[in-house]
Amino acid sequence: MGDPLPPDLFHPACPGVGLPVQIGDKWTGMVLRCLASGPRRFTELRSALRGVTPKVLTETLRAMRRDGLLTRTEYPENPPRVEYALTPLGRSLLDLLDAARRWSDAHLPEVLAARRAYTGDG
């Protein structure tokens, strides 16, 4: 109750979830899941992440590459082929995503019930 507040709220790792990389943005988590089963081409990702525009997918992949989460391999063929694959670092995030998914599966009903019950009073 009267305990001191945590002194490390502004740990350099990152405010909020405490992750130095974005997995809470709109597409990064889904890209990680898509690549969990093996390398994928740009178009494969694009169709799996239905609704993503090429611009945004490019931005997402670039940021992930910058952070060492995935690699981009260009094959000098015709037509051109480019493959994206998770690095070990990227793969290590899958555990975290799974934990999030498990929480979600376990508690979504509670959240929805809370939303229905919420009135704004009090």
Partner DNA sequence: CCGTATCCCTGACGATACTG
Partner DNA sequence: CAGTATCGTCAGGGATACGG
CA dist 106 → 72, 100, 102, 109 (Å): 35, 10, 6, 8
Q: What share of the chain is helix, strand, coil (3-state, %, to 5)?
A: 50, 10, 40
Which of its own copies, DNA, none has residue 66 at its interface (CB below 5 to 8 Å by kind)?
Answer: its own copies
Q: Is 56 in the site for DNA (CB under 7 A)?
A: yes
User: CB under 5 to 8 A by kind: which of its own copies, DNA, none does 91 bind?
Assistant: none
Residue 53: DSSP 8-state: -
Residue 107 binding partner per list its own copies, DNA, none, with a CB distance cut-off of 5 to 8 Å that depends on partner kind: its own copies
Site string for DNA, 66-95 (x = CB under 7 A): ------x------xxxxx------------
Which of 72/101 has CB closer to DNA?
72
Distance set, CA 98 to CA 30, 92, 93, 95, 103 (Å): 12, 11, 9, 5, 9
- Structure token pair of residue 49: 């992440």
Residues near DNA (CB under 7 A) are 25-27, 41-44, 51-56, 58-60, 72, 79-83
